[in-house]
Structure 1
Amino acid sequence: GLTAAAVSAVMICTQLAVLGAGSAVIVAVGRGEPPARVLDGAFAIVGLAGTALALGYLVLQSALAPDTSSESVLFWLTFLVAAVAGTVAIVLDQALVALGRGATATARYILGGGVSLAAAALVAWQAQGAYADVLMACWALGSITACAVGAVQLRRLVGYRPRPSFRSARGLPLLSLGIPNQLLTLTERLPGLVLPLLLAHMVAPEAAAYWYPAWMMAWAAYTAPMLMGIVQFSEGVREPSRLVSTTWASLRWSLAVGGLASVVLMLFAHPLLTLLGERYADSSAGALRWL
Structure 2
Amino acid sequence: MAHGHAMPAPASIPGVSKIIAVGSGKGGVGKTTVAVNLALALSRLGQRVGLIDADIYGPNVPLMMGSSQQPRVTEGNIIVPNLTHGIKTISIGYISPGDKPMVMRGPMLHQIIRQFLQQVEWGELDYLIIDLPPGTGDVVISLVQTVPLTGAVVVSTPSDVSLQDARKALEMFAQVNVEVLGIVENMSHFTCPHCSEVIDIFSKGGAERMAQQFGIPFLGSIELIPAIREGGDKGLPITLAGPKSPAAAAFYEAAGKLQERAEAAAVKNTDVIEIS
TM-score by length of 1: 0.27
Greater helix share, structure number? 1
Q: Say which one has the larger Rg.
A: 1
Greater strand share, structure number? 2
